[in-house]
């Protein structure tokens, strides 16, 4: 269903667009928002932790030389080496990836539940308009049945 009248629209869609254009717009908007939510909630929930931990890893890698020179000759010189910094970068990236996978699962659950909620509200609105349409269809049918009939008497 689109906001423009098409030749293959059902009578209800035509009634909805003609009589309640704002409701038709809300229904279409809710359906498109549900598709967007299904896509972007998991995507963002996966990439935000990845980016966060990647920034931490890159900053450790960028300041590796400064860290090594600052601990040189100190009590942490035997603990903090180039290999330990490299291992901390790998551990940070691994932890970030694992957390991102967990957030992806949470994003999938939240995205589909939010999309379901949006679709439920649009279907509620569509059902209320459909009830009005059915009442009008019923009234049209009753007026046709109760209309006076012109009989021509044959002589």
Kindly report the pTM of this predicted structure.
0.70
More confident position, 99 or 135: 99
75 contacts: CB under 8 Å, gap ≥ 6: none
Please give the Cα distance from 92 to 86 (Å, whole number). Answer: 10
Segment among 44-53, 101-110, 123-132 with least mean pLDDT: 123-132
Average pLDDT along the chain: 87
Give the number of other Cβ atoms within 10 Å of residue 115's Cβ: 20
Average pLDDT over every residue of 102-121: 95
Residue 148's pLDDT is 64
Residue 92's pLDDT is 96
Please give the Cα distance from 103 to 28 (Å, whole number). Answer: 29
Q: How confident is the model at residue 52 (pLDDT cuts 50, 70, 90)?
A: very high
Residue 78's pLDDT is 86
Q: How confident is the model at residue 4 (pLDDT cuts 50, 70, 90)?
A: low
* pLDDT greater than 60 at residue 146: yes
């Amino acid at each position: 269903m689109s906001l423009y009248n098409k030749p293959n629209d059902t009578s209800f869609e035509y009634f909805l667009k003609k009589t309640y254009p704002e409701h038709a717009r809300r229904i279409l908007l809710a359906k498109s928002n549900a598709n967007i939510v299904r896509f972007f909630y998991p995507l963002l929930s996966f990439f935000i932790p990845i980016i966060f931990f990647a920034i931490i890893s890159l900053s450790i890698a960028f300041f590796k030389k400064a860290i090594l020179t600052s601990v040189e000759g100190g009590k942490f010189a035997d603990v903090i080496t180039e290999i330990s910094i490299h291992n901390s970068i790998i551990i940070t990236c691994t932890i970030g990836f694992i957390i991102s996978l967990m957030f992806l699962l949470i994003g999938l659950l939240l995205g589909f539940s939010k999309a379901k909620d949006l679709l439920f509200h649009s279907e509620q609105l569509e059902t209320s308009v459909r009830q009005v349409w059915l009442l009008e269809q019923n009234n049209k049918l009753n007026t046709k049945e109760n209309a006076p009939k012109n009989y021509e008497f044959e002589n």
